[in-house]
Amino acid sequence: MQKSLHLDPNKCTGCLQCEMACAWENYRSFTVAKSRIKVFTFHREGRFVPYTCTQCDEAWCMTACPVDAIRLDPETGAKIVLEPTCVGCKVCTIACPFGTINYVAQTGKVQKCDLCGGAPACAKACPTGAITYVDSDWTGFGKMRQWAGKTDTNPATV
């Protein structure tokens, strides 16, 4: 079964544990500037929104890469960057409509979410359940359940 990261902004508190977990996984550092998942604060709306790569099937970044450095991980469905192949031309960062693949000056390569090979560190670190790693075919399950709970099975007759 393929799994996807499921992000629920309503549960997010903006604690950045996910960002630290991501940076730790890839850099052994807590510096959130290196995280591939970003949590945005919309202060005036009182909303925190975690955001990262959705692993498009027909991924713009993958299609755009001139040296074929972005490949499909058949296990997880993730589009992953092959660092030794990447030439740092940044075409993928232009191609991606969502901004979730970015250049890293420190390495001269690009980076994006790779689902940590099937055990995403952000989902494990999130204390609120705002990030979960669920069956790709059922990312709507939670919302369906919520609406199902609102169904009035015994409508009062008027």
Strand partners, 111: 102
Q: Are 90 and 69 in contact (CB under 8 A)?
A: no
**Contacting residue, 29, 63, 67, 99, with another protein by CB under 8 A:** 29
Residue 7: CB minimum distance to ligand SF4, A? 7
The binder of 130, among ligand SF4, another protein, none, by C-beta within 5 to 8 A per type, is ligand SF4
Report d(CA 118, CA 3) in Å as an integer: 8
Residue 14: CB minimum distance to ligand SF4, A? 5
Query: Is residue 115 helix, strand or coil?
Result: helix
* Closer of 16 and 65 to another protein (Cβ): 16
- CA-nearest of 98, 100, 74, 68 to 86 is 68
Binders in 12-31 for ligand SF4, by CB under 6 A: 12-18
Q: Are 23 and 149 in contact (CB under 8 A)?
A: no
Binders in 99-158 for another protein, by CB under 8 A: 106, 125, 127-128
Residue 115: CB minimum distance to ligand SF4, A? 16
* Closer of 44 and 150 to another protein (Cβ): 44
Tokens of 85: 């192949």
Report d(CA 51, CA 66) in Å as an integer: 26
Report d(CA 15, CA 11) in Å as an integer: 11
Footprint on this chain of ligand SF4 (rule: CB under 6 A): 12-18, 39, 48, 50, 125-126, 128, 130-131
Footprint on this chain of another protein (rule: CB under 8 A): 13-17, 20-21, 23-24, 27-34, 43-48, 106, 125, 127-128
